[in-house]
Amino acid sequence: MNGNTDTGRTMLAAKIVAPRQVEIAEVALPQPGPLEVRVRVTGCGVCGSNLALWRGRPWFHYPSEPGAPGHEGWGRIDALGAGVEDVRPGERVAYLSERAYAEYDIARADSLVRLPSGTEIFPGEALGCAMNIFRRCDIQPRQTVALVGVGFVGALLVQLAVRRGAGVIAISRRPFALQFARRWGAVETIALGDRPSAIARVMERTHGLGCDRVIEAAGEQEALDLAGELVAVRGRLVIAGYHQDSRQVNMQLWNWRGIDVINAHERDPRRYVAGMQAAADRVSKRELDPEPLYTHGFSLEQIAGAFAALDERPDGFLKAWVEPSQREKASVPG
Ligand SMILES: [Zn+2]
């Protein structure tokens, strides 16, 4: 499977051509360069961070590159570029890229993480993101942790914090997400919306002290405002939400309480890969259970539906993904 035999072959890839408009285009099959592999994409998670591009912002250019902004891809290695030695075609991997809404994608060999056995769905970048956020939270047993926003990453963080031995307070607008949080061991769940009453509940629960750790995982001004109010003196506010727009913060409050503020998104690819590997290890050991969170699957052709689900968050929605190689399932076992 080298480049020569592929000349002239094409594949299907999604392209966002304008806000809320996506097309499936036939484009050239990409070729792996040195130290790269080509992956036949089994699936790609649909990330909350895609929403700004989908809805439209003045600073984006359309159309997007074919396959963009899919960055939570996984699949089977299909071809190796020069100098790649540690992996074989056919292996199932998650990887880092920006163009995974396509039948095939190119990944650097040093971004590959082998999928845990028995795992069908593995949006590596998103799972790695949760692990990296968790690490930067530095949660200790018996600490009180508030999670503001229980989407996919927030739900994973509930599981991780409970497992670490923290008392978790989950705050979400969506009742079903709070039910999930309860099931995973949250000691308290609070509806997001009425800020004074949410603050009162948390303060009552923490004897007026607030929380040692507060994780904002909604990416909204309202969530950020509430999160800041819930942090104890010398506590830690971890910003896990994806904020594409500028925000205002209550600096006076942050300053007065002397809180640590962490922006927990990693930008170094090596950190991402380390987080993805940590997630794969936890899933293998059954210490992390993302399966119930994969709620909305779509074919590549249905990708507009995936973005719409992300946008509208129907009841029960936590995570969407697309499956570009759905057709492969019938022919390839395991
Ligand atoms: Zn993502």
Domains of the chain: 3-121+294-331 (3.90.180.10), 127-263 (3.90.180.10)
Tell me how far the alpha carbon of residue 177 lies from the centroid of ligand 1, in angstroms: 19
pTM of the model: 0.93
Tell me how far the alpha carbon of residue 49 lies from the centroid of ligand 1, in angstroms: 6
The residue assigned the tokens 């509806």 is 191
Q: What is the pLDDT of residue 1?
A: 47
pLDDT in tens, 2-28: 445 677 899 999 999 999 999 999 999
pLDDT in tens, 190-219: 999 999 999 999 999 999 999 999 999 999
Q: Provide the pLDDT confidence category of residue 49 given band limits of 50, 70 and 90.
A: confident
Do β-strands 92-94 and 113-114 pair in parallel, antiparallel, or remain unpaired?
antiparallel
Q: What is the pLDDT of residue 245?
A: 83
Percent of the chain with pLDDT over 90: 90
Tell me how far the alpha carbon of residue 274 lies from the centroid of ligand 1, in angstroms: 15
Rounded to 5°, the CA angle 31-35-38 comes to 35
pLDDT of residue 270 exceeding 90: yes
Tell me how far the alpha carbon of residue 277 lies from the centroid of ligand 1, in angstroms: 15
Handedness of CA 202, 204, 208, 212 (dihedral sign): negative
Alpha-carbon gap, residue 325 to 12, rounded angstroms: 10
Tell me how far the alpha carbon of residue 138 lies from the centroid of ligand 1, in angstroms: 22
Q: What is the pLDDT of residue 173?
A: 95
Q: What is the pLDDT of residue 326?
A: 65
- Are 152 and 179 spatial neighbours (Cβ–Cβ below 8 Å)? no
In the predicted model, what is the mean pLDDT of residues 301-318?
Answer: 96
Alpha-carbon gap, residue 181 to 177, rounded angstroms: 6
Tell me how far the alpha carbon of residue 290 lies from the centroid of ligand 1, in angstroms: 15
| Nearest alpha-carbon partner for 93 in 44, 136, 49, 138 | 44
Tell me how far the alpha carbon of residue 196 lies from the centroid of ligand 1, in angstroms: 32
Q: What is the pLDDT of residue 332?
A: 44
Tell me how far the alpha carbon of residue 207 lies from the centroid of ligand 1, in angstroms: 36
Tell me how far the alpha carbon of residue 233 lies from the centroid of ligand 1, in angstroms: 32
For residue 128, what are the contacts with CB-CB under 8 A and spacing of at least 6?
Answer: 113, 272, 273, 274, 275, 276, 277, 278, 279
pLDDT of residue 295 exceeding 60: yes
Tell me how far the alpha carbon of residue 8 lies from the centroid of ligand 1, in angstroms: 32
Q: What is the pLDDT of residue 99?
A: 97
DSSP string across 97-137: -S--SBSEEEEEGGG-EEPPTT-----HHHHHHHHHHHHHH
**Residue-wise over 117-142: b if at least 16 C-beta within 10 A, else e?**
eeeebbbbbbbbbbbbbbbbbebeee
- Are 172 and 181 spatial neighbours (Cβ–Cβ below 8 Å)? yes
- For residue 236, what are its two tokens? 């830690």
Q: What is the pLDDT of residue 6?
A: 74
